[in-house]
């Protein structure tokens, strides 16, 4: 159970407070309701580049990091296809510094040309480091456009290509800020050794005078249902073949989400999971094989990924994954196996309450979904899933004509 208090400022900024006096620390987490899905198809990677620019100085504070480090704080941020999230951890006695810094950059950035130039380079190096200079690093750049034909999930947060980042101009940066970075599009969670009354005062003091700005109304092209089997093969200088099979699945708020996650746990969570036991250990077909979900706010992906052993063809490997899918589509999950994955969900939820930052981020995410209190009802929703629901959902998702298969072949030397 993660308790919290909640209030909204006149400018539309939502603030949640989680009091936890077991720690001398505090966190301030700000979620901005903007991600790579909100980008122009010709300017991809922009939400993430923008995240870097948020550290390039704001209108009244030339350097963001230095004053925070001076009070013993640390910060970081991440961008996903759906959101951009910034967080600060610092001794709770110095919490006001976090309010000062975050409110100033919500008010306005410095928009420095030098910062833009440097961060373009940094992001290009990030592009190389994570996507181009790693074996299999570019797989998402290839798989996403196979699964999504209309929806902006067809590109990764880093962007479609380096050129989009090279071309970013300061005017684009300003327009993006105006459109997305205002109180109405943000959710703040303050957690740790704090009192709600103090947070109300600090929020009014530092964020209260920031203009509400214009509300961004999202109107994205939705991905049509898939009715064709898709397939692509690439060859690259990698040591081993790799097989990816992705399926379209429901959005995060879809009722089926909970059954889908249990399916992924049954198939791939831990050493007792079906794929590991049957395909790695018993049939000795893969060195590793996994299933996971993108968990995205719009229509998601349910992905299988496996590296077959060297003497196993990709056709055999693919067929073995399908065999497991057929089994879950035709046979009801035994009661013990269902209890097992539910127990794991329950304990994971309890363990996650050990980490202050995780709690703050979770509250922010669920508030974005509609109500932070949903967090406290998650376990119950998983526990309510039945074996029939799992079988039915498996039949809905794991259809050939809902699949996108990417075969990544090792170039023979």
Counting residues that bind another protein (by CB under 8 A) gives 83
Backbone dihedral angles phi then psi of residue 95, each to the nearest 5 degrees: -55, -35
132 touches another protein (CB under 8 A): yes
What is residue 71's three-state secondary structure?
coil
Sheet of strand 230-236: strand arrangement: 230-236, 403-410, 242-249, 300-308, 286-293
Question: What's the farthest any 2 CA atoms get from each other in the chain?
Answer: 67
Sort strands 242-249 and 403-410 into parallel, antiparallel or unpaired.
antiparallel
307 touches another protein (CB under 8 A): yes
Q: Which of 113, 167, 197, 284 binds another protein (CB under 8 A)?
A: 284
Q: Which of 146, 170, 309, 374 binds another protein (CB under 8 A)?
A: 309
Q: Which of 3, 150, 178, 205 binds another protein (CB under 8 A)?
A: 205
CB nearer to another protein: give 2 or 368: 2
What's the gap between Cα 335 and its chain centre? Answer: 31
CB nearer to another protein: give 224 or 239: 239
* Torsion angle of the four alpha carbons 1, 194, 206, 201, in this order, in degrees rounded to the nearest 10: 100
CB nearer to another protein: give 91 or 295: 91
Name residue, tokens 């350097």: 63
Please state, in angstroms and rounded to a whole number, the distance separating the CA atoms of residues 315 and 189: 49
Please state, in angstroms and rounded to a whole number, the distance separating the CA atoms of residues 230 and 225: 13
CB nearer to another protein: give 132 or 175: 132
Shortest reach from residue 393's CB to another protein, in Å: 21
CB nearer to another protein: give 98 or 147: 98
Q: Which of 139, 165, 325, 356 binds another protein (CB under 8 A)?
A: 356
Report DSSP letters for 17-56, one per residue: EEE-TTSSEEEEEEEES--GGGS-TTSTTHHHHHHHHTTS
* Residues 278 and 331: beta-carbon distance below 8 Å: no
142 touches another protein (CB under 8 A): no
Q: Which of 18, 37, 48, 120 binds another protein (CB under 8 A)?
A: 120
209 touches another protein (CB under 8 A): yes
* Residues 65 and 72: beta-carbon distance below 8 Å: no
Could you tell me which residues come within 8 angstroms of residue 254 by beta carbon, excluding any fewer than 6 positions away?
Answer: none
Shortest reach from residue 166's CB to another protein, in Å: 12
Report DSSP letters for 276-322, one per residue: IIIIIIIS--EEEEEEEE---SSSEEEEEEEEE-TTS-HHHHHHHHH
119 touches another protein (CB under 8 A): yes
Interacting residues with another protein between 90 and 109 (CB under 8 A): 90-91, 93-94, 96-97, 99-100, 103-104, 107
Q: Which of 8, 40, 129, 166 binds another protein (CB under 8 A)?
A: 129
User: Binding string to another protein for residues 163 to 202, with x set by CB under 8 A, is what?
Assistant: ----------------------------------------
The residue range among 121-129, 222-230, 321-329, 395-403 that interacts with another protein, by the rule CB under 8 A, is 121-129
204 touches another protein (CB under 8 A): yes
* Residues 89 and 102: beta-carbon distance below 8 Å: no
User: Binding string to another protein for residues 369 to 388, with x set by CB under 8 A, is what?
Assistant: --------------------
CB nearer to another protein: give 249 or 280: 280
Shortest reach from residue 314's CB to another protein, in Å: 15
328 touches another protein (CB under 8 A): no
Which of 116, 31, 111, 117 lies closest to 77, judged by CA? 31
74 touches another protein (CB under 8 A): yes
Interacting residues with another protein between 210 and 269 (CB under 8 A): 237-240, 269
Sheet of strand 84-91: strand arrangement: 5-8, 14-19, 186-192, 25-32, 84-91, 74-79
């Amino acid at each position: 159970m993660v308790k919290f208090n909640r209030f909204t400022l006149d400018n539309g900024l939502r603030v949640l407070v989680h009091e936890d006096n077991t720690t001398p620390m505090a966190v301030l987490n700000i979620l901005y309701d903007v991600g790579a899905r909100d980008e122009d198809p010709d300017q991809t990677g922009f939400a993430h580049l923008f995240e870097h620019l948020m550290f390039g100085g704001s209108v009244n504070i030339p350097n963001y990091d230095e004053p925070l480090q001076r009070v013993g704080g640390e910060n970081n941020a991440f961008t996903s296809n759906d959101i951009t999230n910034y967080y600060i951890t610092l001794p709770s006695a110095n919490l006001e510094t976090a309010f000062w810094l975050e409110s100033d950059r919500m008010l306005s950035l410095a928009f420095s040309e030098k910062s833009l130039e440097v961060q373009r380079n940094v992001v290009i190096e990030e592009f190389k480091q994570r996507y181009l200079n790693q074996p299999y690093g570019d797989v998402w750049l290839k798989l996403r456009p196979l699964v999504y034909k209309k929806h902006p999930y067809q590109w990764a947060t880093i962007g479609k290509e380096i050129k989009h980042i090279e071309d970013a101009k300061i005017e684009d940066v300003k327009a993006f800020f105006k459109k997305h970075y205002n109180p109405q599009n943000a959710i703040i969670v303050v957690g740790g050794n704090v009192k709600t009354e103090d947070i109300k005062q600090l929020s009014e003091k530092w964020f209260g005078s920031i203009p509400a700005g214009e509300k961004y109304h999202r109107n994205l092209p939705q991905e049509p249902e898939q009715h064709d089997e898709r397939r692509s093969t690439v060859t690259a200088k990698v040591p081993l073949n790799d097989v990816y099979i992705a399926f379209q699945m429901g959005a995060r708020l879809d009722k089926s989400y909970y059954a889908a996650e249990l399916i992924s746990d049954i198939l791939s969570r831990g050493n007792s999971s079906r794929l590991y036991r049957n395909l790695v250990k018993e049939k000795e077909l893969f060195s590793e094989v996994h299933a996971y979900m993108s968990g995205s706010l719009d229509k998601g992906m349910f992905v299988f990924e496996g590296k077959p052993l060297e003497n196993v063809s990709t056709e055999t490997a693919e067929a073995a994954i399908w065999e497991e899918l057929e089994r879950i589509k035709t046979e009801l999950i035994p009661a013990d196996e269902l209890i097992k994955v539910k127990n794991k969900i329950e304990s994971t939820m309890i363990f996650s309450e050990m980490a202050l930052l995780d709690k703050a981020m979770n509250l922010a995410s669920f508030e974005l979904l509609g109500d932070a209190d949903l967090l406290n009802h998650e376990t119950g929703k998983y526990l309510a899933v039945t074996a029939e629901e799992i079988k039915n959902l498996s039949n809905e998702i794991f259809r050939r004509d809902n699949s996108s298969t990417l075969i990544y072949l090792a170039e023979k030397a």
